[in-house]
């Protein structure tokens, strides 16, 4: 029995090859999901943006950080996960469900949840690295602050249709930037542990 377990473990390790992790890989399906989420956000458009122009605001998207040019492996994974989690939290609310087509909103939340589940396999090993906890906190706090500003804005605007339209466009920018980070991670072999 012990021999069989050893043999199975050896087969698993060989199939992943050197430097590969068990499950920390951004598949093509993950990337397709990211593109589909952007398409869903585009389809959720209910208003012409012109009447909402006076409601525009610069939320301070940390674009350079989100696009990952200055992030280490553990930071990139954590920032990507935090962006997707915060976006999911934003759209998975009672206020949001009143603003959007329910079918499109459910599809978006399902797509975001699937991307989060894909990244959960990567967060486990990264979260265990004690030395990098402080290095991840700065970028994560920046993302949280960005989304906090979005929540404050929506509340100030009393969750108006125009406010949600501005946020929809902002989330398209944010998810587009996070897609850039995902592409960068995938180009580096897809194995997030090898960044």
Q: Which range marks the domain in which residue 171 is found?
A: 25-124+135-190
The answer as to whether 19 is a domain residue is no
Tokens of 44: 């959720």
70 near 64, Cβ under 8 Å? yes
pTM of the model: 0.77
Alpha-carbon distance of 59 to 86, in angstroms, equals 14
The answer as to whether 17 is a domain residue is no
The answer as to whether 69 is a domain residue is yes
Residues with Cβ within 8 Å of residue 184, at least 6 apart in sequence: 67, 68, 76
Give strand pairing partners of 191: 25
pLDDT for res 25: 64
pLDDT for res 136: 54
The answer as to whether 195 is a domain residue is no
What CATH number did the domain enclosing 109 receive? Answer: 1.20.1250.10
Q: Which residue has the higher pLDDT, 51 or 163?
A: 163
CB atoms inside a 10 Å sphere around CB 59: 19
Number of structural domains (the chain) is 1
Alpha-carbon distance of 4 to 35, in angstroms, equals 42
pLDDT for res 195: 46
pLDDT for res 109: 96
pLDDT in tens, 92-125: 998 888 889 999 999 999 999 999 998 887 776 5
pLDDT for res 5: 33
Tokens of 130: 């004690």
The answer as to whether 12 is a domain residue is no
The answer as to whether 162 is a domain residue is yes
Per-residue burial over 153-169, b if 16 or more Cβ lie within 10 Å, else e, is bbeebebeebbbbbbbb
pLDDT in tens, 137-194: 788 899 999 999 999 999 999 999 999 999 999 999 999 988 888 877 776 554 444 4
| Average pLDDT score, the chain | 77
Give strand pairing partners of 25: 191
What is the rounded average pLDDT of the residues 16-33? 58
């Amino acid at each position: 029995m012990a021999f069989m377990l050893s043999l199975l473990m050896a087969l698993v390790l060989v199939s992943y090859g050197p430097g590969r992790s068990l499950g920390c890989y951004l598949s093509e399906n993950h990337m397709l999901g990211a593109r589909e989420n952007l398409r869903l956000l585009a389809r959720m458009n209910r208003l012409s943006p012109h009447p909402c122009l006076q409601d525009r605001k610069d939320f301070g998207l940390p674009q350079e950080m989100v696009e990952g040019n200055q992030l280490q492996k553990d930071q990139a994974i954590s920032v990507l996960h935090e962006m997707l989690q915060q976006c999911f939290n934003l759209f998975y609310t009672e206020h949001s469900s009143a603003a959007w087509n329910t079918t499109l909103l459910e599809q978006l939340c399902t797509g975001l949840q699937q991307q989060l589940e894909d990244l959960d396999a990567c967060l486990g090993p990264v979260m265990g690295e004690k030395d990098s906890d402080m290095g991840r906190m700065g970028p994560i706090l920046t993302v949280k602050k960005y989304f906090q500003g979005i929540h404050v804005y929506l509340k100030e605007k009393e969750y108006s249709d125009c406010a949600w339209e501005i946020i929809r466009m902002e989330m398209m920018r944010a998810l587009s930037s996070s897609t850039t980070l995902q592409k960068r991670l995938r180009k580096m072999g897809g194995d997030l542990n090898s960044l």
